[in-house]
Amino acid sequence: MSSRVPGASIPASAGIGLRSPHYAHVAAGTPAVAWVEVHTENYFHDGGPHLHELERVRESHALSLHGVGLGLGSVESLDRAHLERVKRAVRRFEPALVSEHACWGHSGGEHFNDLLPLPYTEEAVEHLSARVREVQDFLGRQILIENLSSYFAYSASRLTEWEFLAAVAERSGCGLLLDVNNVYVNSVNLGLDAARFIDSVPASAVQEIHLAGHRRNPVGGRDILIDDHGSAVCEDVWALYARAIDRLGRVPTLIEWDTDLPEFEVLLAEARKANAILERCGELAA
């Protein structure tokens, strides 16, 4: 490929989720964005302006490819054509990180195009670990698995979410992508202890953090948080993030904003807030 500058690793600072209205801002490089992440499926095609724009951004920015459509934990076999396209995107863009979700997504030939939760059972750990190994073998590299936001808990679950993720990471060799907003969303939706999650997730496995906004939906006389990535990170999530950084150290952190996309400057301001927390951690370490 052409003379790409970064690529081997993601800087331990804040990056942004790159969406098409912001291509020109990022490619221009002023002000600088440390790194970007895109949804892998948006770059599956044979040509077109999106591929061209990402090639341009990639010349000067480290990249993470984040998949949303593989449905890793589905009981039916993985869609090999989809996986082949992931591999093609990895070859084309040479990302520093490749990630997916601890979810399922298809059954009976129908894809639901949503990140659907798995029960936290020993069987599901084995199943998801095998799938992650299958993907890593096919791609020839490690992937990261992200924790989900959830709107219900299975009666069948026997493990905590962090125990589930830790077991999958250990058995498959994958890394973890810790979505702090999702931890917070689940704490409200399911009455879980967010701080305990942050304190218990296997530190050595976490290679990336996601931060995003959510919206409150009244359901049955209480608030349910919907993980819509359509607003600024809330103060409770910033506090959890600071707790995570205190424990995990400087971890590359992504500002995700996918709906009701704001001006680019708003994303940069969110990234600056994350960087301030990351830098404070660096000072403490020094």
Partner 1 sequence: MNSRPEVAPLQELLTRFAAALRTGTAADDAARDMASQIVDDGLEPGRRLRIYRNNVQAMFYGALSRTYPVLKATLGDATFESLAREYRGAHPSRSGDLHWVGQALPDWLHERLADDEDDSWLADLARLEWACEEALVARAMQPLQRDALASVPPEQLADTGLELQPAMRVVSSPHPIWSVWRAHQPGCDVEGMDSAAGPQHVVVACIAGQLALRSVPREPADFIRHLRDGGTLGAALDASTLPVAALPGVLDWMFEDGLVVGLRPAATPACTGGAEA
Separation of alpha carbons 164 and 124, rounded Å: 9
Closest contact distance (angstroms) between CB of 118 and partner 1 is 8
Among 269, 254, 250, smallest CA distance to 12 is for: 250
Closest CB to partner 1 among 39 and 247?
39
Query: HSE of 214 in the Cβ direction (CA atoms, 13 Å)?
Result: 28
Taking CA atoms, 109 is separated from 76, 77, 116, in Å, by: 9, 10, 16
Examine residue 274 and tell whether it contacts partner 1 (CB under 8 A).
no
**Contact status, residue 161 vs residue 145, Cβ threshold 8 Å:** no
**Contact status, residue 11 vs residue 254, Cβ threshold 8 Å:** no
Examine residue 41 and tell whether it contacts partner 1 (CB under 8 A).
yes
Q: CB within 8 A of 38, min separation 6: which ones?
A: 17, 18, 54, 63, 64, 65, 66
Closest contact distance (angstroms) between CB of 205 and partner 1 is 23
Exactly one of 2, 8, 30, 49 binds partner 1 (CB under 8 A); that residue is 49
Token readout for 133 is 């190994």
Closest CB to partner 1 among 108 and 140?
108
Separation of alpha carbons 139 and 121, rounded Å: 27
**Contact status, residue 106 vs residue 139, Cβ threshold 8 Å:** no
Closest CB to partner 1 among 47 and 140?
47
Closest contact distance (angstroms) between CB of 191 and partner 1 is 6
111-170 positions binding partner 1, by CB under 8 A: 111-114, 116, 118-119, 121, 123-124, 127, 151-156, 158
Examine residue 218 and tell whether it contacts partner 1 (CB under 8 A).
no
Closest CB to partner 1 among 134 and 247?
134
Closest CB to partner 1 among 89 and 183?
89
Q: Which stretch binds partner 1 (CB under 8 A): 48-56, 165-173, 239-247, 265-273?
A: 48-56
Exactly one of 52, 88, 141, 272 binds partner 1 (CB under 8 A); that residue is 52
Separation of alpha carbons 179 and 173, rounded Å: 19
Number of residues engaging partner 1 in binding (CB under 8 A): 51
Q: Which stretch binds partner 1 (CB under 8 A): 74-82, 135-143, 195-203, 274-282?
A: 74-82
Separation of alpha carbons 31 and 142, rounded Å: 31
Separation of alpha carbons 30 and 32, rounded Å: 5
Q: Which stretch binds partner 1 (CB under 8 A): 29-37, 49-57, 168-176, 241-249?
A: 49-57
Token readout for 156 is 């069948």
Interface residues with partner 1 (CB under 8 A)?
41, 44-50, 52, 68-71, 74-75, 79, 82, 85, 104-114, 116, 118-119, 121, 123-124, 127, 151-156, 158, 190-191, 217, 219-220, 222, 224, 226
